[in-house]
A = this chain, B = another copy of it.
Amino acid sequence: MINLKELSSELKKLIYESENIAVASHLNPDGDNLGSVTAMVGMLKKLGKNAVYVLDDTIPNSFKFLPNLSYAKSPDNINNVFDLFIALDSSDENRMGENIKKIFKASKKTVNIDHHFSNTKFADLNIVDDKSPATCEVLARIFESLDLKLNKEIATSLFTGLSTDTGSFKYSSVNSNTFLIASNLFKYDIDINEVTVNVYQSRSRQKTDLLIRAMNSIEYFDNDKIAVVFVTKDDMEKSKAEKADADGIVEFVRDIDTVELAVLLKEKDDCIRLSLRSKSYIDCTKVASKFNGGGHVRASGGTINHTDLNKAKEDVVKVAEEQL
* Interfacial residues, chain A to chain B (CB-CB below 8 A): 61-62, 163, 167-172, 174-180, 182-184, 186-187, 192-193, 196-197, 200-205, 208, 212, 215-216, 218, 220, 224, 254-258, 279-280
User: Chain B residues with Cβ under 8 A from A187's Cβ?
Assistant: 176
Q: How far is the CA of A180 from the CA of B241 in the complex (A)?
A: 40
Q: How far is the CA of A127 from the CA of B271 in the complex (A)?
A: 62
User: Chain B residues with Cβ under 8 A from A183's Cβ?
Assistant: 176-180, 182-183
> Does A257 contact B205, Cβ atoms closer than 8 Å?
yes
> Does B256 contact A208, Cβ atoms closer than 8 Å?
yes
Q: How far is the CA of A102 from the CA of B177 in the complex (A)?
A: 45
> Does B208 contact A220, Cβ atoms closer than 8 Å?
no
Q: How far is the CA of A163 from the CA of B203 in the complex (A)?
A: 22
Q: How far is the CA of A257 from the CA of B186 in the complex (A)?
A: 25
> Does A170 contact B216, Cβ atoms closer than 8 Å?
no
> Does A61 contact B192, Cβ atoms closer than 8 Å?
no
Closest to A258 in B: B205
Q: How far is the CA of A254 from the CA of B196 in the complex (A)?
A: 12
Closest to A195 in B: B170
| A141, chain B: closest CB distance, angstroms | 14
| Contact A208:B215 (CB < 8 A) given known A175-B186, A183-B177, A183-B180 | yes
Given pairs A176-B183, A202-B257, A205-B256, 5 additional interface contacts (CB within 8 A): A175-B186, A177-B183, A203-B255, A204-B258, A205-B220
Which of these, B62, B179, B186, B201, contacts A254 with CB under 8 Å? B201
| A119, chain B: closest CB distance, angstroms | 24
Which of these, B182, B196, B205, B255, contacts A171 with CB under 8 Å? B196
> Does B203 contact A256, Cβ atoms closer than 8 Å?
yes
> Does A192 contact B179, Cβ atoms closer than 8 Å?
no
Q: How far is the CA of A175 from the CA of B180 in the complex (A)?
A: 12
Q: How far is the CA of A220 from the CA of B170 in the complex (A)?
A: 32
| A168, chain B: closest CB distance, angstroms | 5
